[in-house]
């Protein structure tokens, strides 16, 4: 798949998730790459742009992405280590990050070629990309619809330069309530985003557009692993908008994708495998 034929170009972080405990394994992941995984898994053309190290874990990232149908022509291989996140889980499947080292991905920056290539996709999603605000205008000027994942933020902290260029600004408030989520989503819109979306884990999600907010309850499932559920939600929500669904339908689609991700170990399309069950 050529990037120009991709539905979504994801730019930003990747890492190898090193699971310890019952799920002991190493799996490709990272916010931006996870969104590409889930879109490809759902049948959309997905391309990923970022940096991996010239090591075994970098090869794991590339081999996994390619085997899942993600275009990796935009990946740069740099001297140094690939990012690593050490993950453990409690009895409910809730993940906890023990250690994080972003490796060479921390130094990855967008350039003119990347911007031109990525903007050929219908949508560009940015996650943990330090120069996203610097390039958002150029990406939007080339006709791409933009979204960005700001991760965990408090109301009022959304970066103005980036929000003003976005179709969707995504946030996470895992310990927040509906009022705080609605305020944060509305704040993103006030700062220029077309839509603000906040995920609340088991409390569901909230979206704001114009002067109206919507709440979507979480879809109940038997949780195996919560790692990447928020990224899966983002992929589902983007897919809904790509298919011209109304905002409440896109929220539901995101919730369903996030719930489905919780039933699997990792987002590299790996079900609860024999190696994990052993």
In the chain (278 residues long), the average pLDDT of successive 10-residue segments reads 76 93 87 96 97 97 95 98 90 77 95 96 97 95 94 71 94 89 93 96 95 96 91 98 97 97 78 38
The DSSP letter of residue 152 is: E
Tell how far CA 162 is from the center of its chain: 16
Give the chain's radius of gyration (CA, Å): 17
Q: Report the length, in residues, of the chain.
A: 278
Whether 150 and 159 have beta carbons less than 8 Å apart is answered as yes
Q: CA angle, corner 86, sides to 75 and 266, nearest 5?
A: 65
Tell me whether strands 145-152 and 123-127 are parallel, antiparallel or unpaired. Answer: parallel
Task: Give the per-residue pLDDT at 139.
Answer: 95
Domain residue ranges of the chain, discontinuous segments joined by +: 3-277
Rounded-to-integer distance, Cα 230 and Cα 200, Å = 9
Q: What is the pTM of this model?
A: 0.92
- What does the pLDDT look like over 120-147, one tens digit per residue? 999 999 999 999 999 999 999 998 999 9
Contacts of 277 (CB under 8 A, 6+ apart): none
Task: Give the per-residue pLDDT at 99.
Answer: 82
Rounded-to-integer distance, Cα 110 and Cα 5, Å = 20
Q: Which two tokens stand for residue 61?
A: 């990232």
Task: Give the per-residue pLDDT at 157.
Answer: 66
The DSSP letter of residue 19 is: E
Which of 189, 194, 158 lies closest to 173 in space, CA to CA?
A: 158
Domain 3-277: what homologous superfamily? Ribokinase (3.40.1190.20)
Task: Give the per-residue pLDDT at 96.
Answer: 75
Rounded-to-integer distance, Cα 243 and Cα 139, Å = 21
Backbone angles phi, psi at 112, to 5 degrees: -60, -40
Task: Give the per-residue pLDDT at 274.
Answer: 38
Rounded-to-integer distance, Cα 202 and Cα 74, Å = 35
């Amino acid at each position: 798949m050529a990037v120009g034929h991709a539905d979504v170009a994801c730019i930003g972080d990747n890492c190898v998730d090193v699971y310890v405990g019952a799920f002991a394994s190493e799996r490709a992941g990272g916010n931006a790459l996870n969104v590409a995984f889930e879109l490809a898994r759902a049948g959309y053309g997905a391309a990923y742009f970022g940096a991996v190290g010239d090591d075994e874990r970098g090869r794991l990232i590339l081999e996994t992405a390619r085997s899942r149908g993600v275009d990796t022509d935009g990946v740069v291989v740099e001297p140094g280590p690939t990012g690593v996140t050490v993950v453990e889980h409690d009895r409910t499947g809730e993940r906890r990050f023990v250690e994080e080292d972003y490796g060479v991905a921390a130094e990855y920056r967008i350039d003119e070629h990347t911007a031109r290539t990525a903007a050929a996709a219908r949508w560009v999603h940015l996650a943990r990309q330090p120069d996203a605000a610097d390039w958002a205008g150029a990406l939007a000027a080339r006709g791409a619809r933009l979204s960005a994942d700001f991760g965990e933020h408090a109301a009022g902290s959304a970066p103005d330069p980036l929000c003003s260029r976005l179709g969707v600004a995504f946030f996470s408030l895992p310990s927040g309530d509906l009022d705080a989520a609605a305020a944060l989503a509305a704040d993103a819109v006030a700062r220029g985003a077309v839509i603000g979306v906040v995920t609340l884990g088991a409390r569901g999600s909230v979206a704001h557009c114009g002067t109206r907010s919507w709440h979507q309850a979480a879809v109940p499932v038997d949780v195996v692993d919560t790692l990447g559920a928020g990224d899966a939600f983002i992929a589902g929500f983007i897919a809904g908008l790509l298919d011209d669904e109304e905002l409440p339908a896109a929220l539901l689609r995101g919730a369903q994708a996030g719930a489905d991700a919780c039933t699997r170990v990792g987002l590299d399309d790996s079900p609860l495998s024999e190696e994990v069950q052993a």
